[in-house]
Structure 1
Amino acid sequence: MSVRNLQYLFDPHSVAVIGASDRPHSVGATVFRNLLAGSFRGPVYAVNPRHRTVAGRQAYPDVAALPAAPELAVICTPAPTVPGIIAALAARGTRAAIIISAGLGAASGTPGVTWLQAALDAARPKLLRILGPNCIGLIVPAIGLNASFAHTNALSGRTAFVSQSGALVTGVLDWAKSRGIGFSRFISLGEGADVDFGDVLDYLAGDPLTQSILLYIEDVRHARKFMSAARAAGRSKPTVVLKAGRVAEGARAAASHSGALAGSDAVYETAFRRAGMLRVMSTEELFDATETLAHARRGHGERLAILTNGGGPGVMATDELICGGGTLATLSTDTLARLDALLPPSWPRANPIDIIGDAPPERYRDALQVVLEAPEVDAVLMIHCPTAIVSSAEIARAVVPLTRNTSKNVFGCWLGGDALADARRMWASARLPAYDTPEDAIDAFLQIVRYRHNQQLLMQVPPAAPAGQQPEPGVARALVRAALASGRQMLTEPESKALLAAYGIPVVDTRSVETVAGAVEAAHAIGFPVALKILSPDVTHKTDVGGVELDLPDAAAVQAAAHAMAGRLAHFKPGARLLGYTVQAMARRPDALELLAGTATDPVFGPVIVFGQGGIAVDITADRALALPPLDMVLAHDLLRRTRVSRLLGGYRNRPAVDTEAVSAVLIRLSHLVTDIPEVLELDINPLLADHNGVIALDARVRVAPAPPGAEPYSRLAIRPYPQELERTVTWQGQPLTIRPVRPEDAPAHVAFFNRLTPEDVRLRMFVRLRELSPAQLARFTQIDYDREMAFIATRVGPDGEPETLGVSRAVADPDNVKAEFAVTIRSDLKGQGLGTLLMQVLVDYCRDKGIRELVGEALAENVAILRLAARLGFHKTQLPGEEIVSMCLNLQGPGVARPAVPA
């Protein structure tokens, strides 16, 4: 369930309060009073069986007695009464309810059923949506709706706030009101038993009242749903999240360094980043983000100019900027010359631009004008320290008009107290972000920079992954299942390396033996020198028991090392089983870095990819970053950059740069492995040696467990991977053609495809004239959420040996998977040859199999080709008199609907 009936929750035309009361300070009295005090224009009903009137309004004894079914009901009665009320509301026709009441987790009269479950069961048959329970309620200032028991109302604005914490809701309300910041919707989720973050994000992504979104999150329960909704919202609207519980709440003993990260806050951080959200770390930062989102423009660069009338605050701002990873704009010769002409000779001729403490309003105005016109400056922080010489209000009055005619962000820091009240008021009236200290202003600027980075990650076109060995999932599955069949959770080192080799990850030659004599024989076969390691299912880290010897030069050294290892194992871990030894070739790579690459399984978001510095000190350095699969080259490179060891990958002194393409390829192959093999829970490659010649895995550790019976493919993944099973080869015009889902790597071919469309075909497809695709449009067309949308392309190898896209059919489903909107485009020189019919047949078949009920679309009435195609496929067409648009609809699940024939 997702956005179904949420319009009745967030935009109701009538409201009933169940449990409305006159009892002072009661929840029912507060909610009813708040509703009446607002400017809500629809009927507001009071339901109370013990009173004929409440707050001077007629009261009704129960839901059945109401004169009409309320679109929204607010329930303020004890927990045991809630299921019956929900059932009565559902029967009456109400489709949304807010359960303010707490305590619904207690057992009801039915064994094994809580009051909450009973309420959900009563709501489900009629799709009655429930916000809560145990929540503050909901405020929608634009329609005057205050269906909450908050102590104050919210001002109207363009930012939505969604919180799991009721206490934070009231705190944000107070703070925002004091700053004049308004909200489009103020939502307290409470326990989120039905309507959760995924539902609300889906709704807000398409909400015309909302321009930006703030979230306070304590936990996420449905990772796939959350990620799909968050990625959709994050692409279109700035979304800021404060996540509580940064301590590693999921910390536990793990069989690998990667596995120790499962359940950690770092995984949430990774998910937010992947969704294009901005994460803040404190309530104060959330408040600052509220100020920034309410007033700032979207940033288009990272170079900041600091304009100040005091040297000290300018230096403080610079320190904060540089320490936070920001960029101080370098002023050009032309900008310096223009500033020289209007500033005192003593100004420092550098950024920060100190215009001196006696600066009159005109100096502020003229200097700011120069800086705003400087092409090397992307944003400006103006700092003002009050003086007895110049009125702060006059300065604000002089500079505010300049900010209206620029696309650049101008941040204000009015450093002081009451003397600056008028200036701050003028600044706020101009909807400019203002902060109390230089550090706060810089942090706000850096929030925009971090948000921009996350958005760029969503829009970057990934290059194709380096060619390499094709994965052999069948070999990998056989290895894993054999280990599970023998009752083991840990693969042996040779098994682990064989698993990696099946996915094209280079591994050092390793052989397992049972005896000392076998170790000597294996060493001769490999060639000296060799490394020798114990083989024991009871030892996780071999070095802890002295179970590793390197650079053994001959047979005698191997024999002596094996006997010594056996003795150390018996001493350090009595009772541990010694199954034998592994012998491996020594990897002679003196310039190589020791890296860690692996996978872990998070209890919420499923598999994650881990990368960082490796070696025996891996736990001490704690240099690791995470990413959610699936990965492409852009995401893999980003994962590398987020570690400290990445600074060494580029080479230093006389060490050549590491082959980062090879490192990234390992991460992508690990992504494929963990996607294909659900039994793999933890995997470590440590060390992964990397240098300018490539990579090689020296040691690997893998923990496995049986996959849950009956689980759907990829159900454990937070983001659905590329559905390779949908690829097919067909014959078209006597030649083989591949029909497959679009991939991010198809972006260059998609640009070439667009360029082969005539302007008229572009107009008919997009309803507007468009000369080229913007980066955002290109990303939107090729980087799709396979869980909610599908785009099939027809592709073949072109004359230049590169793949070329000939046509595309696309369907975007609503979050409830009920209705999907389709589009189909064929390269202009290939129209009329049956390719559109072929692509549409594949799309219709896919949508039907996915359970979508209706496939709908719109076309200009003059677009005869698509209308004829739709008619052949059985679409029903509707055109309103006088309208240029024709609506098309195909019923996919009704009786007698035939399945289209798809060419083999």
Structure 2
Amino acid sequence: MGTENLDRIFNPRRIAVIGASTREKSLGARLLQNLVGVGYKGVVYPVNPFRPTVQGIAAYPSIRKIPRQVDLAIVATPAHTVPQIIEECGLMGVSGVIVVSAGFREAGEEGKDLEKRILEHRNHYKMRIIGPNSLGVIRPGIRLNATFANKTAELGKIAFISQSAALCASVLDWASEANVGFSAIVSVGSMLDVDFGDLIDYFGTDIQTSSIVLYLESIKNASKFMSAARGFARAKPIVVVKAGRFRESAEAALCHTGALCGEDAVYDAAFRRTGIVRVEAIDELFNCAEALAMQPNPKGPNLTIITNAGGPGIMATDFLIAKGGKLSSLSNKTVKALKKILPLYCSILNPIDVLEEATTDRFKDVMEICFKDNRSDGFLIIYTPQGVADPVETAKIIVKLAKNTRKPVLTSWMGENECWRARKVLRKKGIPAFTTPEQAVSTFMYMHSYTKNLELLYERPEELTMDLAIPTFLKEVLSKAIEEGREVLDLLESLRFLEAYKIPTTKTLIAKTPEEAASAASKLGYPVVLKVLSPQITHKTKAQGVILNVWSAKQVQESFRDLVKRINESNPQAELRGIAIQPLVQRKRCEILIGSKKTPLFGPVILFGTGGVNVELLKDTNICFPPLNQVLARRLMEKSVLHEFMSSSDFSGCAGLIEEMLVKFSQLVIDFPEIREMD
């Protein structure tokens, strides 16, 4: 159905308000008041079967009686009446519908049945529906306020799409004071039809929109969402705040990966892979969107701070380092130039303190020098009212000089009475202006994240060239396990998969008797490790199914008997298929976890992090989507706390090998969608 019918919703010529009312504070009354009260130039038809006029406008008993073709119908009637109204809209050729009514799936089975009937009509008549439970939509560019909110929005370049009607109303109230404008505000409600993917597609091509911001609780169609975001993230920044960050999964996990791979972490990975910037708070949502739309993207995390007060400069530095950023290391040329114009007692090193006595000219001279430094990825100018440099004149200087750099310039004018006018001057000319340094630094780091996420969009992993097609014997291994009613492959079966994809494994021999165990150990060389082999025992250490550091044939036989006894006593129902004998790794080691999980919404994901028996306590969880190439694998590894260890001389060459392993493992994940979880 594309975006054509959505255009009838966002640029309608004729609108019907079904349920229009004169009852004060009713949804139907407020909708009609908002439509006619802010200067909408189209035609509005109130629909009310009991009144010839509503709020002084001629009304119609039903949409069938309206003499002209209606583009958009807004439904504000009781839930049980909505399916029939949708059908009537379809019969009359209405392309778009907004349902503000409540009482559907949230009301139980009866409400779900109403939704089912609505969808049947929607599919039959090929219309598009926003809602139910929607606040409505606002398009300031055509003076359209099709909501029941108490306020409208000023014109701007941000499209705000929210899953919460209440939050839309709150943002409207906040934005009027914060001077934030919008190209559109959309309350998606329950997303029975139109969802985030549809709206990203629409506003991605909307010339009035320069950035898209989302308040999101859940995604209905993950593939559509990711495809839409990936298609437009380069041209228009997409910024999201997602609620439900710490929601626990209801599923019990068999693998470490399942326990570590929470829903929110998967959303986080999806946002990164599609070029979306995720922020943590509503104010950051709009700060980031405006900055990305107004300023160039930083190429790195190196920030140069210029301040006329030492304390705020230190605060900004602390916050920058805590967020993973870096202070720019100024070039010798820059330092020499600064020494020529600044007093000896000024701090020349970054942050550059021009002191409280700084004039507007001193700010100007320092900025002219620093803006030419190639080691800086962005600039933060902090101003505190000291009674010397005029706040507005200093702001005007920044506006002028910022035109000469292709790097982002952010400002913090700390104060209200003397600074609000300066902030207004800066914002009007496209320079982000904040009241605190922390807000500015946070925005800079989100901008840096956006740059890194965009780089991922250019990575298109190629399919691995295997010696043969997917080995049929691996399919047979899975089929056999399914026939036996098993959900878990044993150690030997798992090793066959890894070996087929040329992923390095530890040499493993299986013993059925103590004597076979001793023979296997002598072939491998001492010391060895003994592990129980049973499809019912996934976490061997927890089940006391592992014995380490075995040095002799006699000790091997004793350990074999001990393991068998332990398992028979603690897990009498477990099928014991033997004891695995492996050489003990004695070199310096760094235990890692590589795993995968098939998520209900996004499909398979890959996890990388710290391994070992305490993996679930450490929670070094780093997630991405398959397939991978070496660049994507490296990015995944860089997010782990292990990255510094792997980069050290003790583990020279390991990082490259692990990258290759991750790429091969990701192909295994793609080739076998039947596998739910892997460690």
Give the TM-score range, shorter chain.
over 0.9
Partner of 2:629: 632
Partner of 1:41: 41
Asked if the contact 2:211/2:290 (under 8 Å) is kept, the reply is no
SS of match in other structure, 1:267: helix
SS of match in other structure, 2:22: coil
Partner of 1:889: none
The amino acid of 1:346's aligned partner reads Y
Distance in 2 between residues matched to 1:372 and 1:223, nearest whole Å: 42
SS of match in other structure, 1:418: coil
Summarize the Cα distance change of 1:17–1:161 in structure 2 as closer, same or farther, 3 Å threshold: same
Partner of 1:72: 72
**Aligned positions of 1:441-460 closer than 5 A:** 441-460=440-459
Partner of 2:574: 577
- Write out per-residue CA displacement over residues 100-129 of structure 1, whole angstroms, 9 at most, x where no aligned residue: 0011227899x8961111111112112110
Asked if the contact 1:35/1:147 (under 8 Å) is kept, the reply is yes
**Aligned positions of 1:631-780 closer than 5 A:** 631-652=628-649, 655-684=650-679
Distance in 1 between residues matched to 2:619 and 2:455, nearest whole Å: 27
Summarize the Cα distance change of 1:154–1:307 in structure 2 as closer, same or farther, 3 Å threshold: same
Distance in 2 between residues matched to 1:251 and 1:93, nearest whole Å: 44
The amino acid of 1:28's aligned partner reads G
Summarize the Cα distance change of 1:473–1:227 in structure 2 as closer, same or farther, 3 Å threshold: farther
**Aligned positions of 1:463-542 closer than 5 A:** 472-524=470-522, 526=524, 528-542=526-540
Greater mean alpha carbon deviation, residues 548-557 or residues 194-203: 548-557
Distance in 1 between residues matched to 2:524 and 2:99, nearest whole Å: 70
Summarize the Cα distance change of 1:92–1:506 in structure 2 as closer, same or farther, 3 Å threshold: same
Distance in 2 between residues matched to 1:235 and 1:294, nearest whole Å: 11
Distance in 2 between residues matched to 1:44 and 1:112, nearest whole Å: 29
The amino acid of 1:666's aligned partner reads M
**Aligned positions of 1:12-23 closer than 5 A:** 12-23=12-23
SS of match in other structure, 1:494: helix
Distance in 2 between residues matched to 1:18 and 1:200, nearest whole Å: 24
Give how far 1:660 is off: 2.3
The amino acid of 1:681's aligned partner reads R
Distance in 1 between residues matched to 2:558 and 2:497, nearest whole Å: 31
- Write out per-residue CA displacement over residues 868-891 of structure 1, whole angstroms, 9 at most, x where no aligned residue: xxxxxxxxxxxxxxxxxxxxxxxx
Summarize the Cα distance change of 1:427–1:565 in structure 2 as closer, same or farther, 3 Å threshold: same
Give how far 1:43 is off: 1.0
Asked if the contact 2:13/2:71 (under 8 Å) is kept, the reply is yes
Asked if the contact 1:532/1:562 (under 8 Å) is kept, the reply is yes
Give how far 1:255 is off: 1.3
SS of match in other structure, 2:529: strand
Give how far 1:12 is off: 1.6
Partner of 2:213: 214
Asked if the contact 1:262/1:603 (under 8 Å) is kept, the reply is no
Partner of 2:168: 169
Partner of 1:144: 143
Asked if the contact 2:517/2:581 (under 8 Å) is kept, the reply is no
SS of match in other structure, 1:556: helix
Summarize the Cα distance change of 1:466–1:21 in structure 2 as closer, same or farther, 3 Å threshold: closer
**Aligned positions of 1:246-645 closer than 5 A:** 246-250=245-249, 252-293=251-292, 295-460=294-459, 472-524=470-522, 526=524, 528-571=526-569, 573-588=570-585, 590-645=587-642
Partner of 1:86: 86
- Write out per-residue CA displacement over residues 610-638 of structure 1, whole angstroms, 9 at most, x where no aligned residue: 11111222222222211111212211111
Summarize the Cα distance change of 1:8–1:482 in structure 2 as closer, same or farther, 3 Å threshold: same
Distance in 2 between residues matched to 1:324 and 1:217, nearest whole Å: 23
Asked if the contact 2:238/2:289 (under 8 Å) is kept, the reply is no
The amino acid of 1:416's aligned partner reads G
Distance in 2 between residues matched to 1:106 and 1:546, nearest whole Å: 47
SS of match in other structure, 1:5: helix
Identity %: 39
Summarize the Cα distance change of 1:127–1:266 in structure 2 as closer, same or farther, 3 Å threshold: same
Distance in 2 between residues matched to 1:676 and 1:539, nearest whole Å: 26
Higher relative contact order (CA 8 A, sep 6+): 2
Asked if the contact 1:162/1:187 (under 8 Å) is kept, the reply is yes
The amino acid of 2:514's aligned partner reads V
Asked if the contact 1:523/1:583 (under 8 Å) is kept, the reply is no
TM-score w.r.t. length of structure 2: 0.95
Distance in 1 between residues matched to 2:48 and 2:300, nearest whole Å: 58
Partner of 1:204: 203
Give how far 1:187 is off: 0.7
Distance in 2 between residues matched to 1:258 and 1:60, nearest whole Å: 60
Partner of 2:100: 100
- Extract unaligned runs of 5+ from structure 2: none
SS of match in other structure, 2:548: strand
Give how far 1:500 is off: 1.7
Partner of 2:130: 131
Greater mean alpha carbon deviation, residues 573-582 or residues 473-482: 573-582
The amino acid of 1:603's aligned partner reads P
Greater mean alpha carbon deviation, residues 356-365 or residues 292-301: 292-301
Asked if the contact 1:101/1:134 (under 8 Å) is kept, the reply is yes
Distance in 1 between residues matched to 2:464 and 2:225, nearest whole Å: 31
The amino acid of 1:606's aligned partner reads G
The amino acid of 1:100's aligned partner reads V
Asked if the contact 1:382/1:412 (under 8 Å) is kept, the reply is yes
Distance in 2 between residues matched to 1:506 and 1:340, nearest whole Å: 57
- Write out per-residue CA displacement over residues 819-877 of structure 1, whole angstroms, 9 at most, x where no aligned residue: xxxxxxxxxxxxxxxxxxxxxxxxxxxxxxxxxxxxxxxxxxxxxxxxxxxxxxxxxxx
Distance in 2 between residues matched to 1:661 and 1:343, nearest whole Å: 47
Distance in 1 between residues matched to 2:15 and 2:26, nearest whole Å: 19
Summarize the Cα distance change of 1:316–1:470 in structure 2 as closer, same or farther, 3 Å threshold: farther
Asked if the contact 1:314/1:354 (under 8 Å) is kept, the reply is yes
Partner of 2:241: 242
Are 2:180 and 1:185 aligned? no
The amino acid of 1:495's aligned partner reads E
**Aligned positions of 1:877-896 closer than 5 A:** none
- Extract unaligned runs of 5+ from structure 1: 685-904
Partner of 1:6: 6
Give how far 1:426 is off: 1.8
The amino acid of 2:609's aligned partner reads G
SS of match in other structure, 2:24: coil
* RMSD, aligned α-carbons: 2.3
Give how far 1:40 is off: 2.2
Distance in 2 between residues matched to 1:468 and 1:215, nearest whole Å: 41
Greater mean alpha carbon deviation, residues 356-365 or residues 209-218: 356-365
SS of match in other structure, 2:233: helix
Instruction: Give the strand-richer structure, 1 or 2.
Output: 1
Summarize the Cα distance change of 1:332–1:36 in structure 2 as closer, same or farther, 3 Å threshold: same
Instruction: Give the helix-richer structure, 1 or 2.
Output: 2
Asked if the contact 2:560/2:579 (under 8 Å) is kept, the reply is no
Distance in 1 between residues matched to 2:469 and 2:320, nearest whole Å: 45
- Write out per-residue CA displacement over residues 172-206 of structure 1, whole angstroms, 9 at most, x where no aligned residue: 22222222221111111100010001111111222
Give how far 1:664 is off: 1.7
